[in-house]
Copies of this chain bind each other. A is one copy, B any other.
Amino acid sequence: MRTEMETESLKTKDRVGSYGFIAEPFHCDFQHELFLGHLCNHLLNAADYHSDERGFGMNYLIPRHRTWVLSRFAIEIYDTPKAYDNICVDTWVDSVMRFFTSRNFAVRNDKDDVCAYGRSIWAMIDTESRHPVDIMAIHDGHISDYIETSKPCPISQPQRVRVGTNTQLLRTVEMQYSDVDVNGHVNSVKYIDHILNLWDLDWYRNNVIKRFDIVYVAESHSGDRLSFWREQTGDEEFGVSITKSSENGTNTIEVCRSSIKFVKR
């Protein structure tokens, strides 16, 4: 642990990382709006850069058989970035517990207006046992030097998300080569892409995503056949549950669940 004086000398600007991205034209949908999956990918990249620059990123953890796992994520969008927009993602850790940290995000446009806020909960796991490990054991709790509580993130915590029993099986999709990332399992953002494919272009022509929550429950892998179950919980509100069969085929395992609030354009 650093001395109290050293800790106090860390300013908000040291604790918050800011990373510029561009809304690339071919990362935008038919309405020239950045796909939510690509926006979320920028947030996850910002988290990766921020933790890496401060000594608790993947580059430090992987050789020590540790990694970060995204457990829950929520984003609220006020103004979806359009093709060619420059955006800046601010990210900071706002609390650390033994097995979880909470990390926030603010996405700013080039007028410095916030166009989205995000919140996320991460666990640290042992890459061999896949079990959670004590975050404070890394670098003598070094991460707690970076806790920033003064920067606002005026959206509610990522929901636990309850999906009811009134769901309808809309689609089964086999996970492929392009779904799997450097971690060897299906990429967090790919679930978001597959979920948002449950609505067609006509829906997106008339509705825009206001808030998206997702809870990651179990990992899935290439070759897994994922079932997408959807229920409508309000005029423009939905719950989605993704399940897979267990390896011996006898049980159904929940992979993740999500709630999506749209608003009419």
Residues in chain A within 8 A of chain B (CB atoms): 24-30, 32, 35, 37, 41, 44-45, 48, 58, 83, 176-178, 180-184, 187-189, 193, 196-197, 199-201, 204, 222-223
Whether the Cβ atoms of A45 and B28 lie closer than 8 Å is: no
Whether the Cβ atoms of A26 and B201 lie closer than 8 Å is: no
Hey, which chain B residues are within 8 Å of A178, CB to CB? 29, 35, 37, 193, 196-197
Whether the Cβ atoms of B197 and A29 lie closer than 8 Å is: no
Return A156 CB to nearest CB of chain B, in Å.
26
Whether the Cβ atoms of B176 and A197 lie closer than 8 Å is: yes
Hey, which chain B residues are within 8 Å of A196, CB to CB? 177-178
Whether the Cβ atoms of A45 and B29 lie closer than 8 Å is: no
A35, B187: Cα distance in complex, Å? 13
Query: Which of B25, B180, B181, B204 is in CB contact (< 8 Å) with A45?
Result: B25
Return A261 CB to nearest CB of chain B, in Å.
17
Q: Which 7 interchain pairs have the tightest Cβ spacing?
A: A176-B197, A178-B193, A30-B184, A30-B180, A201-B222, A28-B182, A32-B182
A83, B132: Cα distance in complex, Å? 25
Hey, which chain B residues are within 8 Å of A24, CB to CB? 41, 45
Whether the Cβ atoms of B200 and A222 lie closer than 8 Å is: yes
Hey, which chain B residues are within 8 Å of A187, CB to CB? 26
Hey, which chain B residues are within 8 Å of A188, CB to CB? 26
A30, B200: Cα distance in complex, Å? 30
Which residue on chain B has the smallest CB distance to residue A194?
Answer: B178
Hey, which chain B residues are within 8 Å of A177, CB to CB? 29, 196-197, 199-201, 204
Hey, which chain B residues are within 8 Å of A180, CB to CB? 29-30, 201
Query: Which of B182, B189, B199 is in CB contact (< 8 Å) with A30?
Result: B182
Hey, which chain B residues are within 8 Å of A201, CB to CB? 177, 180, 222
Hey, which chain B residues are within 8 Å of A200, CB to CB? 177, 222-223
Hey, which chain B residues are within 8 Å of A35, CB to CB? 178
Hey, which chain B residues are within 8 Å of A27, CB to CB? 41
Of the A-B pairs whose beta carbons lie under 8 Å apart in the complex, a sample of 15, sorted by A's number, is: A25-B48, A26-B41, A26-B187, A27-B41, A29-B180, A29-B181, A30-B183, A32-B182, A35-B178, A177-B196, A177-B199, A177-B201, A177-B204, A200-B222, A200-B223
A189, B29: Cα distance in complex, Å? 14
A44, B199: Cα distance in complex, Å? 28
A203, B25: Cα distance in complex, Å? 32
Whether the Cβ atoms of B199 and A25 lie closer than 8 Å is: no
Hey, which chain B residues are within 8 Å of A176, CB to CB? 197
